[in-house]
Structure 1
Amino acid sequence: MSRNKRWRRPAAVAAAVLTGLAIGGGTASAAPGPGSDGAGDGYYPQDGNGGYDVADYNLTVGYDPATHQLDGVQVVTARAEQDLSSFNLDLSGLTVTSVKVNDLTAKFTRTGEHELVITPARTLSRGQKFTAEIAYNGVPKAINDPLLGANGWQYAASGGAFAAGEPKSATTWYPVNDTPRDKATFHLAVTVPDEWGVIANGREEGTTKTEAGTTHRWAESTPVVPYMTTVAIDKWEFHRSQLADGTPVVDAFAPGTSATTKAAEARLPEVLDFLSSKFGPYPVDAAGGIFLAEPIGFSLETLSRPIYSGRAGNLQTIVHENAHQWYGDSVAVQSWKDVCLNECFASYATWLWSEYNENQNLDDRYRSQVAQASDQFWAGKLYDMGPGNEFTSVYSKGPLALHALRHQIGEAAFGKVLKTWPTLHRNGNATLPEFQNYASVVSGQNLQGFFDTWFYGNTKPSAQYLYPGSLTPRT
């Protein structure tokens, strides 16, 4: 995200999912019980759920722009991680009309702000693959965030709609396990009147005409965190192309998008080539961008296809959001207190782009910003900053911390860390302390003091860590 101003390691996750899909059943234990109604994040304890691991969402939606009515059927394919008497999904508002689990009618209730509690006709055994089919409808409403404004399903002045928001978004338009810790593939079929276009994550899978209009199908085969899913409905101008390796690129521009914005997005292949040189091979199955007319309060790294505020279609924002495809999307946070792994790195990517593309001296940029920094600036934390404070200092203090780290461990070690970390944790989750440990191993340095002052602390670093290596201030 850029603002306008695991339970297991990836290989273990893959093994667990494949095991569940293969055996189709599980090992019985003593007492079946309900899955937890939260995923355990300290900042948002009721978001997400426990007791199961989702492999795929297969969502079918009909949407009428004239009435804002949405009718959906969600099919969740998952594996039970315990013997389940019941389990929860997250859904904000909207009306559930029926639920089936493994094709059998299931009971359901609604509790709290967004809990959908499902009781299958038959207990689910640990390790068992299951499907949950939820039919629902209504007029979606956004969630208001005091810092970022509307999150989730939002309406365009043109009469269209789009879904974007962080840390919450998906629950406003489909039932989901709303936690970064449960990635899944995502299939979407959206039917709208013929004059409307649809864009979403992943690859286009074609369109078909129906009595209700045109059905547009999209498929995201890269496992995705729920808030990074999106759909956008408008009278788009589509630009389609390919990267050099054949990766499909789809850009969608809302009516009235400026020529300057289109020219900036035309440089996406160059941007991705540059980011790949720093972060390793592009880790997603598609690319592109969604350029809104609405001047919402943020742009967002929706997987494979970032969504841009109507006032942010510029090259620096394009670099930032696409850097997230490595740092934030492919490698997602384990908990929201780790959000520096997303935003510090995407923000520093714009520094690296300026160094590469504009020959900017980053040491001078660093010294200038340090000289201007206030006590309030240094008080901002980059780790465990508290709920509601995630999207603040990570954009400003974060790049400084990474540039200081670059000088602390040296160019070779820093470059190796940047490039190999996303591959090490691809399609998984990670924590900032894990990144610290990895940087220490690669550099051969004990970095505890550095991370204590820059990432875990809330005061100005001492000269030892503020000006490491050749960053010593010029006199």
Structure 2
Amino acid sequence: MYFKRLAYSLMGMPLLFALTAAPPVSAQTLSPSGAGTWLQAPLGESDIHSDGSQYEDASYTEALHYAVDLKIDPVTKVLSGKAKITVRTLLPATNLKFQFKKQFEVSSALVDGKSVRSIEHSESNDLVLHLSGQVEAGSSFEVEITYSGPMVIDMDTDTESGWLKNEAGELLTAFDSDTLIFPSTLNASGRATSLITLTTPAGWKGVSVGKLQEETTLPDGSNQLTWNATKELSPRSNFVAVGKFDIERSVLPDGMEMVNAFGEGTLPSARKAVEKISETRDFLEDLFGSYPYDWIGGVFMEFGDGPAVEKAGRSLFLSLKDTFTPSVMAHEMAHTYWGDLVTGIGENGFCMSECLASYAQWRWDDRNGEASASDTYRKWVASADADPEKWNGLGGWNAYSKGPAAFYALSQFMGRDKLDEALRNFIRENRHNTTAPTPWSVLEAAIQAATEKDLSEFFQEWFHSGTRPRSEFVDFPAV
């Protein structure tokens, strides 16, 4: 996965950038090929151990639905759970394969109510259920897995190896979330619905993705919240946060319920920013098409210089300092389209997510008078001319700076309305792709289809080159 930390400044302008996960690469390798160029390879099916070795039985399964019951104690840091997963085999199978952290002990596994022959759980986090017989391709059934174990704590928000814990003792699975809370199929690009019930001790509440379906106080004082994701999501979009949350529920003008969870240390600026959620959603719908989910909101927790992470309609804001603004929220919410709804491949997918979310942020700032997109673009070009390395490719930090500059330049070259139309068409035709991530070439083809201008040289020089494009693709009059 690709994650980048926040908070640096570009030409003196404070920026706070969101994070989104590029889909994992399985059997194929994707790597840069020369300065600023990308090599695209087809995505293979995930029948590979984490250490690179292949199962003898290369069966392949996909999840259709996850129903997960979790009990989490943030004091003892012990998690116990039961996951009922509706799966379908795409090939004949004698075993079923999942990804799940080895720290959890799997005590039982049933397939349609019958015990499996054996359970293999490797140090590489591969969980393999060996069946008593073979299931045929196209078979659907329920797998029930019961497990418990310690919640490994990782205090570093730069890594993705465990639960994050802040000074208030609140816990979060921002990264690699699915394998920390339930077994997920190896087809990480596949999407499924989920129903996640979180039970926590008195004074604590659990938050996840989806609609808040039910909130109950149990006889022993424990809190139980059920979150229902009725739209299909990548497993990586799931998360769990456990905190001393103040949960606010409200209804937007169109009737959609908004749920926001505020952890300890939340600043008034965070509560002020959520007032812009409805307006931001409407802006993004005008830009990219209909909002993809029937839930919306955010989770606000204090992790010092922690990042912001998009999780399918419920963004995680982990740094509540003065740098948190509605502009940052616009970037995050743009990831509901670029990163969640449509995913790309490898470094190309990283740019498809971050370049376009950053471009949406430029448009938001321009619309609201916070920063002219034209001025921001011209300042960035001047800074890149002074430091030619900024022209070199669209990986890493360049996705957040050269990326939106490239799409702004494209809007000037072909016309902003035509680019907007092309992006809406691309999302409509590729949304909820459940078979594989979408190649970058498909995005370029969709944009080309919206104009009679030949964009091939523009694409080559802005998106596949490590040097400054020619003047006709860069130098546009100020608007």
Correspondences of 1:390-401 after superposition (within 5 Å) = 391-401=396-406
| Code of the aligned partner of 2:184 | V
Q: Which residue of 2 aligns with 1:200?
A: 208
Q: Which residue of 1 aligns with 2:266?
A: 257
The answer to whether structure 1 residue 90 and structure 2 residue 99 are counterparts is: yes
Deviation at 1:214, TM superposition (A): 2.6
Q: Which residue of 2 aligns with 1:40?
A: 27
Contact 1:347 1:399 in 2 (8 A): yes
Contact 2:423 2:447 in 1 (8 A): no
The answer to whether structure 1 residue 415 and structure 2 residue 420 are counterparts is: yes
Secondary structure at the aligned position of 1:413 is classed as helix
Distance 2:107 2:348 in 1: 36
Contact 1:199 1:252 in 2 (8 A): yes
- Superposition RMSD on alpha carbons, in Å? 2.6
Deviations 1:315-338 (A, max 9, x none): 121111101111111112244542
Contact 1:247 1:285 in 2 (8 A): yes
TM-score, scaled to structure 2: 0.83
In 2 relative to 1, CA 140–50 (structure 1 residues): closer, same or farther, beyond 3 Å? farther
Q: Which residue of 2 aligns with 1:367?
A: 378
Contact 2:306 2:319 in 1 (8 A): no
Q: Which residue of 2 aligns with 1:126?
A: 137
Contact 2:62 2:187 in 1 (8 A): no
Deviation at 1:425, TM superposition (A): 1.7
Q: May I ask how many residue pairs the two structures share in their alignment?
A: 429
Deviation at 1:184, TM superposition (A): 0.8
Distance 1:142 1:463 in 2: 51
Contact 2:211 2:227 in 1 (8 A): yes
Contact 1:60 1:189 in 2 (8 A): yes
Deviations 1:272-298 (A, max 9, x none): 111111111111110000001112532
Distance 1:243 1:2 in 2: 32
Correspondences of 1:107-186 after superposition (within 5 Å) = 107-141=118-152, 148-150=158-160, 152-165=162-175, 168-177=176-185, 179-186=187-194
Distance 1:337 1:368 in 2: 25
Distance 1:278 1:442 in 2: 15
Contact 1:192 1:212 in 2 (8 A): no
| Code of the aligned partner of 1:158 | A
Distance 2:373 2:106 in 1: 53
Correspondences of 1:231-250 after superposition (within 5 Å) = 231-250=240-259
Moved more, 257-266 or 414-423: 414-423
| Code of the aligned partner of 2:365 | S
Contact 1:180 1:332 in 2 (8 A): no
Deviation at 1:112, TM superposition (A): 4.4
Deviation at 1:310, TM superposition (A): 2.3
Distance 1:464 1:38 in 2: 36
Distance 1:219 1:2 in 2: 29
Q: Which residue of 2 aligns with 1:4?
A: 6
Secondary structure at the aligned position of 1:182 is classed as coil
| Code of the aligned partner of 1:40 | A
Contact 2:198 2:207 in 1 (8 A): no
**Which residue of 87, 104, 113 corresponds with 1:103?**
113
In 2 relative to 1, CA 236–75 (structure 1 residues): closer, same or farther, beyond 3 Å? same
In 2 relative to 1, CA 188–265 (structure 1 residues): closer, same or farther, beyond 3 Å? same
Distance 2:246 2:428 in 1: 34
In 2 relative to 1, CA 235–200 (structure 1 residues): closer, same or farther, beyond 3 Å? same
Contact 2:380 2:401 in 1 (8 A): no
**Structure with more contact order per residue of length (Cα contacts < 8 Å, sep ≥ 6):** 2
| Code of the aligned partner of 1:277 | D
Q: Which residue of 2 aligns with 1:461?
A: 469
Distance 2:462 2:242 in 1: 42
The answer to whether structure 1 residue 333 and structure 2 residue 344 are counterparts is: yes
Correspondences of 1:287-306 after superposition (within 5 Å) = 287-306=296-315
Deviation at 1:88, TM superposition (A): 1.3
Distance 2:318 2:4 in 1: 10
Q: Which residue of 1 aligns with 2:455?
A: 447
Moved more, 190-199 or 283-292: 190-199
Secondary structure at the aligned position of 1:266 is classed as helix
Distance 2:240 2:298 in 1: 12
Contact 1:284 1:330 in 2 (8 A): no
Distance 1:327 1:415 in 2: 14
Secondary structure at the aligned position of 1:257 is classed as coil
Secondary structure at the aligned position of 2:381 is classed as helix
In 2 relative to 1, CA 316–179 (structure 1 residues): closer, same or farther, beyond 3 Å? farther
| Code of the aligned partner of 1:163 | T
Q: Which residue of 2 aligns with 1:215?
A: 224
Q: Which residue of 1 aligns with 2:283?
A: 274
Q: Which residue of 2 aligns with 1:189?
A: 197
Contact 2:153 2:163 in 1 (8 A): yes
The answer to whether structure 1 residue 226 and structure 2 residue 227 are counterparts is: no
Contact 1:340 1:398 in 2 (8 A): yes
Secondary structure at the aligned position of 1:121 is classed as strand
Deviations 1:126-156 (A, max 9, x none): 00002221111111225798x9334552223
Deviations 1:403-437 (A, max 9, x none): 11111221221120232322222222422111001
Secondary structure at the aligned position of 2:185 is classed as coil
Distance 1:301 1:206 in 2: 23
TM-score, scaled to structure 1: 0.84
Secondary structure at the aligned position of 1:185 is classed as strand
In 2 relative to 1, CA 207–364 (structure 1 residues): closer, same or farther, beyond 3 Å? closer
The answer for unaligned runs of 5 or more in structure 1 is 6-36, 386-390
Distance 2:77 2:324 in 1: 27
Deviation at 1:456, TM superposition (A): 2.1
In 2 relative to 1, CA 132–445 (structure 1 residues): closer, same or farther, beyond 3 Å? farther
In 2 relative to 1, CA 126–150 (structure 1 residues): closer, same or farther, beyond 3 Å? closer
Deviation at 1:70, TM superposition (A): 0.3
In 2 relative to 1, CA 41–74 (structure 1 residues): closer, same or farther, beyond 3 Å? farther
Deviation at 1:254, TM superposition (A): 1.0
Secondary structure at the aligned position of 2:83 is classed as strand
